[in-house]
Amino acid sequence: MAWNPGQKLQNGKYTIEKVLGQGGFGITYLVKNKKGNLLVVKTLNSWVQRWCDFAKLQQDFLNEALRLSKFNHPHIVKIDEVVQEAGLWCIVMEYIDGESLASHVWNQGILPETEALRYIQQIGDALTVVHERGLLHRDVKPLNIMLRKGKTEAVLIDFGIAREFTPNLTQTQTEFCSSGFAPIEQYDWRGKRGAYRTHLTSYGA
């Protein structure tokens, strides 16, 4: 069940403002804390909550949230805390005032070369850090890159299907991927993960 605007979380610490978006696994809310600051809360959506292996998915979600909370990089969304609400693990993260790279390109058209190269460098730096921590984002695309309002800063968001990386290991993949941006092995549920290949394919796309 989705939470409604005005609903309180964490004994009144956060108040739901609205739903920001919903994907294959998660649902994201805009919330306000007691100081009036806007933040984002992400948790598993009601569809996933009905799955028979929900307990395992929630544990995976928690493990990934805890790993992501250790990142401190200007081009990776900052995690404020990981909390449990009504039996659901939630990631509380910074709210980025701005627009997605996809929206920016749609509205502005082709980016000037200097601007495009700046964003490529910034997201490349972020992905290097992600990979060094043994994680794969697995959903790098313009919709998951936010541009801070009034700045030329790109921020990688939505690590909803991030997974640990073990080179050349054949493991079951999730069935969710972004067509046109996902690497070919991600379409195969038994695909092998090669070093950097997953990120390079999406990064280049």
d(CA 63, CA 45): 17
119 sits in which H/E element: helix 113-132
The secondary structure of residue 174, as a DSSP letter, is P
Q: Is 70 within any annotated ligand binding site?
A: no
The dihedral sign for the CA sequence 46, 47, 50, 52: negative
Q: Which of 97, 125, 139, 158 is catalytic?
A: 139
Q: How many helices (H) and strands (E) does the chain have?
A: 4, 11
Helices (H), the chain: 54-68, 101-108, 113-132, 197-204
Q: Is 97 annotated in the active site?
A: no
92 forms beta bridges with 41, 81
User: Catalytic site residues?
Assistant: 139
List the binding residues: 42
List the binding residues for ATP: 42
